[in-house]
Amino acid sequence: MRSQSCVPLGCDLRKVAPIKPKDGVARQPPFQQTYTVGKVLGKGGFGTVYAGVRNRDRLPVAVKHVLKRSVASWGLLNFQRVPLEVILLKDVQHIPGVVKCLDWYERQDSFILVLERPDNCIDLFDYISERGALEERVARSFFKQAATTACRPPPGHWAILLYDMVCGNIPFEEDHQIIRAQPSFRGSQSAEVRDLIRRCLGHPA
């Protein structure tokens, strides 16, 4: 990770000018030397994702630009405060099927995450929006890929995944709950689901 110069709020990464020192000689920051940013792939509350390439080998990448004011959850990585997303990505880099985080940069008001961009891929929501309901054969293939990847992490990760699938968020509200693996149930989950999540987190029934 390298600290970078400020990108103005709402700025298009493709239009960020090189830093100009006091001597007037333009010197590009490391990010712009290393990557070329292309078209927008997606935009939302999470930030903006661009297509890009790594200059030294033309590797396709996805460049995610997230404003600090939009980050909902934070954590510490090497004693530095970073979005929790960075920490979670680093934690699962060894798992096949998980998108790899190749690099990340901090700027004054934002973070830039550089992720691998596999060929011939599309967001599942966009895929369904464009093509309609999935055929059983296709749905089975997609679910098998997701389940195979999801079953590789330790059991504690299964609990968080299960909670996210059932409730649409993560089972913790405070940092101490994460440290103690104490889930916070905020919905109408059945006793069986709550028991399974607690067991996966290492708590007795």
From the annotation, which residues make up the binding site? 64
Phi-psi region of 50 (alpha: psi -120 to 50; beta: other; left: phi over 0): beta
Cα separation, 102 vs 99, in Å, equals 9
| Torsion (CA) 18, 9, 70, 120 in degrees, nearest 10 | -50
H or E, element range at 87: helix 84-91
Cα separation, 141 vs 149, in Å, equals 13
**Distance, first Cα to last Cα, the chain:** 42
Cα separation, 147 vs 145, in Å, equals 6
Q: Residues within the annotated binding site for ATP?
A: 64
